Amino acid sequence: MLVSAKEMLDKAKAGHYAVGQFNINNLEWTKAILLTAEECKSPVILGVSEGAGKYMTGFKTVAAMVKAMDESLGITVPVALHLDHGTYEGTKACIEAGFTSVMFDGSHFPIEENVAKTTELVNAAHHLGLSIEAEVGAIGGEEDGVIGKGECADPNECKQIADLGVDFLAAGIGNIHGVYPANWEGLSFETLEAIKNTVGDMPLVLHGGTGIPDDQITKAISLGVAKINVNTECQLVFADATRGYIEAGKDKQGKGFDPRKLLAPGFEAIKAKVKEKMELFGSVNKA
Ligand code: 13P
């Protein structure tokens, strides 16, 4: 059933585990993640970037596909359909399109503007029963040209945004999107601890889940992280599996590939990756 992410993340925070957010790009990814969540009896969050939303012809298409697929597959675990790194306009569009959760990323605005826009969107989301995530302290990545270390959020700004009524908070603690560079300094647990102490019970979100060593993931969960986003790792295993299939020459004697067979190894690779993460995050059998 599609639900807001609030209850599953409050439970995760209280139970000292984290729920994975896995980004979707198409039907195969969505199906692989839903089936794995059901097999693992784990709650799950399907993340949709604005780019992926556009690729799938719009947020309404995504909401309709996910709702129908959740029903057709007989999924019984809690599933949240969540906008990832929404703009102000994109967040409003997803609230109207039938998403059950949104993230408004106002981290690049001056704090006053982030506060004003987040306040408006918290009200709009809660009015329709959606959960909402906000961000403080930009989380870098290759596309931003950040090398070595992501930004660390100011704990006082985190408190200011948390107090607006957001349901969970993404705060930069040295994490970045994509593959971490060799000179990455690791997560700043000092920052995480300071944020936890200012925001109290609010579930915290760790973006850039790809490539963070397992022991740092476990420590972050012990310090209040209840949602972990993973995208690049799924992309990498999907690409490897697809490449392997093509290189093995499994085509129809020069007449092309059956697209369902072509995508099957990538589908299985995503299922295995999602299962591995659910085990690491401790969300198995928590549905
Ligand atoms: P990665 O691509 O580094 O796994 O990060 C995903 C993410 O944080 C999406 O918001």
Residuewise pLDDT in 10s, the chain (287 residues): 899 999 999 999 999 999 999 999 999 999 999 999 999 999 999 999 999 999 999 999 999 999 999 999 999 999 999 999 999 999 999 999 999 999 999 888 888 998 999 999 999 999 999 999 999 877 766 544 444 457 899 999 999 999 999 999 999 999 999 998 888 889 999 999 999 999 999 999 999 999 999 999 999 999 999 999 999 999 999 999 999 998 888 777 777 788 899 999 999 999 999 999 999 999 999 99
Return the pLDDT at 141.
63
What's this model's pTM, rounded to 2 decimal places?
Answer: 0.95
Residue in 102, 216, 228, 229 to alter for ligand 1 test, most ligand atoms within 8 A of Cβ: 229
Which ligand 1 atom is at minimum distance from the Cα of 233?
Answer: 4
Measured in Å, residue 281 CA sits from the centre of ligand 1 at 15
Asked if residue 149 has its Cβ within 6 Å of ligand 1, the reply is no
For ligand 1, atom 1, the nearest C-alpha belongs to 208
Joined tokens for residue 4: 């807001």
Which ligand 1 atom is at minimum distance from the Cα of 23?
Answer: 9
Rounded distance between C-alpha atoms, residue 284 and residue 278, angstroms = 6
Contacts of 246 (CB under 8 A, 6+ apart): 257, 262
**Closest of 195, 90, 22, 164 to residue 104, by C-alpha:** 90
**Could you tell me the CA-to-CA distances from 111 to 9, 216, 246 in Å, in that order?**
25, 29, 49
Asked if residue 101 has its Cβ within 6 Å of ligand 1, the reply is no
Measured in Å, residue 22 CA sits from the centre of ligand 1 at 8
| CA torsion through residues 28, 31, 34, 40, sign | negative
Contact 155, 197 (CB under 8 A): yes
188 φ, ψ to 5°? -95, 95
DSSP 8-state symbol, 203: P
CATH topology of domain 6-281: TIM Barrel (3.20.20)
Asked if residue 277 has its Cβ within 6 Å of ligand 1, the reply is no
Contact 126, 164 (CB under 8 A): no
**Closest of 227, 201, 199, 162 to residue 12, by C-alpha:** 227
Asked if residue 25 has its Cβ within 6 Å of ligand 1, the reply is no
Asked if residue 231 has its Cβ within 6 Å of ligand 1, the reply is yes
Catalytic residues: 84
Contacts of 155 (CB under 8 A, 6+ apart): 191, 194, 195, 197, 198, 199
Joined tokens for residue 178: 């994509």
Measured in Å, residue 231 CA sits from the centre of ligand 1 at 5
Q: Map tokens 């070595």 to a residue.
A: 148
Measured in Å, residue 166 CA sits from the centre of ligand 1 at 20
Rounded distance between C-alpha atoms, residue 241 and residue 262, angstroms = 9
Rounded distance between C-alpha atoms, residue 49 and residue 183, angstroms = 28
